[in-house]
Structure 1
């Protein structure tokens, strides 16, 4: 290598690297802001569309809920008039949720209520002093609550269901769930349904509905006053369970649609706020870039 080439390389190594011009960094930043604006606008369109769809489904779900709640009211009156002193420690917990997300913390509410009921927490939805056996099994309707409860209660899982009530739940769906639970051979003294109770279009709360088992009905003085065959009692328990599951399904479905509508409304508002912030940031950066270009032009003209 010649002496001239060595001196050139030595000089290049000593000199510091030339920084990128500020205008180039500014243009890159403007491009990034522009791409982010485009993505946020697309998200806003999606959330607004999902809000409109949820609003339409909510009206249908409320009509189905008002009709389905009559099943639950009639069911509760039957068991209110057949009190039994027999303890029911072995309870089958049926957690009613769904397979879909994007609806806030509606699935977490029933999962938390189930954990409190199983652990005997003071804030449990069960009446104070209710005895719960540590071997009480759990059946879950919906994949969301299943994934939330699997960490702590996996050993209690008995049977789970999915693809139930993808649209408005029907009595056939509830009857199918009740039939599979009865045929599975699970032993229980009573069934406790944990579901979301519809309070208003913007609020809901976790609630329970208890259905007595066959033995508890037989021990009831009001029920034993009538001469009933064993098959009739068994059929009544299964029919009452289907009624309760149907009432919980339609009310939970209405709560889900309401929560999804509110969640998409909040997401659309957040997207609008982000679009306003990014637009202002983009306009400021563009104005600064244009000002720098004008300064360069005026400086060059003055030099000439």
Structure 2
């Protein structure tokens, strides 16, 4: 009777081990699938990074001329007037802390301005984060951003919509600056209104034929700064996604090793319980 009870205990223990073994096997399979996905996303990001860096390099050339123009003309900001913050992000996730960093940087800048700022959010990610804390400040938002490298045509359309908000004495473009393949830094481009450019003392250095040059320079400067900011942010995002997927693949590999060892040990325990069950049953027949 005692031997029969021991056999029943062994069988119930074996059943529990089988259930656990099945769960481990399913978990191991799901982690392997995740590893395949993250590896694929890493390869895709690595391929797109070269294109993003080329677009970023080209935008830097154009923005360099804009920076030289502002350096020569020396327009001034009006600290007492309202500032328009154009915060550049994208719609896509799975790229580390890149969206939260620029959102944090924007909130800090709004606090420095004592709330005397309106916000234009470029990308759903930054719009969602800023809406939670500064919903009243977000006046305009764009989505469908970050699928491809930015171009001047879409930037010009965005500038046309931004201009419909009215005239702002100060305009700042907040973006993630690409510093290396593993890091980025929230930074700012300053854009100036037509009135600020027209009042700039250094504007006399240029021989200007058109009387409306200040308005044209203001719109082109904002578009140029926005294009550079979006190109920098795009390269930073692709690089961050590649690094995030690389880390995710490594973590998945570590978990696969861990669960493989656990699976083998559990399987060995099941086999041992079955052997005990067989031996106990054979002994009960003696």
TM-score, normalising length from structure 1? 0.86
| 1:62 positional shift | 0.7
Runs of 4+ in 1 over 4 A off after TM superposition: 224-230
Contact 1:96 1:193 in 2 (8 A): yes
Partner of 1:128: none
Contact 1:86 1:219 in 2 (8 A): no
Distance 1:106 1:134 in 2: 24
- Which stretch of structure 1 is more off in the superposition, 162-171 or 84-93? 84-93
| 1:294 positional shift | 1.2
Partner of 1:26: 17
Cα gap change, 1:299 to 1:152, in 2 (>3 Å): closer
Instruction: Tell whether 2:176 aligns with 1:196.
Output: yes
| 1:299 positional shift | 2.8
Query: 1:228-274 CA distances to partner (integer Å, 9 max, x unpaired)?
Result: 65532111110111111000111100000000000000111111111
Distance 1:106 1:286 in 2: 43
Q: After the TM superposition, which residues 249-260 of structure 1 pair with which residues of structure 2 at under 5 Å, given as runs?
A: 249-260=230-241
Distance 2:275 2:77 in 1: 90
| 1:90 positional shift | 2.1
Could you tell me which runs of 5 or more consecutive residues in structure 1 were left unpaired when the two chains were aligned.
1-17, 121-131
Instruction: Tell whether 2:232 aligns with 1:241.
Output: no
Distance 1:283 1:165 in 2: 44
Distance 1:86 1:280 in 2: 64
- Which stretch of structure 1 is more off in the superposition, 75-84 or 250-259? 75-84
Cα gap change, 1:134 to 1:301, in 2 (>3 Å): closer
| 1:177 positional shift | 1.1
| 1:70 positional shift | 1.2
Contact 1:33 1:282 in 2 (8 A): yes
Partner of 1:70: 61
RMSD, matched Cα: 1.8
TM-score, normalising length from structure 2? 0.91
Distance 2:269 2:64 in 1: 67
Partner of 1:290: 271
| 1:107 positional shift | 0.6
Distance 1:196 1:81 in 2: 26
Structure number with larger C-alpha Rg: 1
Partner of 1:152: 133
Partner of 1:102: 94
Instruction: Tell whether 2:145 aligns with 1:167.
Output: no
Q: 2:26 aligns with which of 27, 35, 42?
A: 35
Distance 2:238 2:229 in 1: 14
Distance 2:78 2:248 in 1: 48
Instruction: Tell whether 2:35 aligns with 1:44.
Output: yes
